[in-house]
Structure 1
């Protein structure tokens, strides 16, 4: 009799329906949220501006080095002139490398700030939608990590988060144009038949 009483709780666990033990899962696609929301584009526009400015500075410094290199190849240049341009070229090369390091550090700092702000604003919305929809697991989509997924199902959760993200964010400037509907960062692969 003791064995039977010990097995009764196990029988109750085994009799659970598949619905009771099947987790409800959603997929969150941050790239889609960034591309398809006014607030997402606003946040990441700062990062693009910083990137463009840094690239322009690096390009100008690189052109300066190329100009000095061309001068150094001039056959009419005296030995003293070659020595002076060689020194200028060495200095320009050092400045270019320093500018690269500084630019990378500045870009990474801005990137961390923007991603931190994005996470701070989106995180609570993702949590709220997941709780409302009784989702136990939200996977963040990254290109190449999902071999197959039905696209409309994968984007349903992100689309709901996007609506709330834009609704919660401050009004966008009148000049901001909505982006055309975009697909996720990479279209999930379809299974081979």
Structure 2
């Protein structure tokens, strides 16, 4: 699969505004989540991703962990060295935790990750399909640079046409793309 790589100066427009807008939306998202997490005494972090939640991480030194282990309605698992609490919906406390996790999930779904958000804002979000695989454009920030990697559709692929690249993005080689990330 062929990809093209680009960089842009994050301190220049419109990248600066897009980044600030995303940070503002992330702050609002975190405020909404905090309202829910403040009602969970064993909350130390969430177990999931930027757009999903599967459980609550409870540190081993959290005083509420002992009570959680003794309460029906919670499934306690150790995943990757972290204590994760998930709801057991057969019990009232599990149903309550599930309701809170579902509310968090909806908030997370409303707030896209930076890659998807910025690519859609710039009209660069593309998907290319090749037999049984899908390749997505991706982006991120590293050392005040906006970096993006975009799949190139060819005769063996279908999917989105290659987007028009805005003038504030400069095409770079894959080696520079990796070097800017310290790889």
Q: The TM-score by the shorter chain falls in which range?
A: 0.3 to 0.5
The structure where strand makes up a greater share of residues is: 2
Higher RCO, 1 or 2 (CA under 8 Å, sep at least 6)? 1
The structure where helix makes up a greater share of residues is: 1
Q: Which has the larger radius of gyration?
A: 1
* TM-score normalized by the length of structure 2: 0.35
* TM-score normalized by the length of structure 1: 0.33
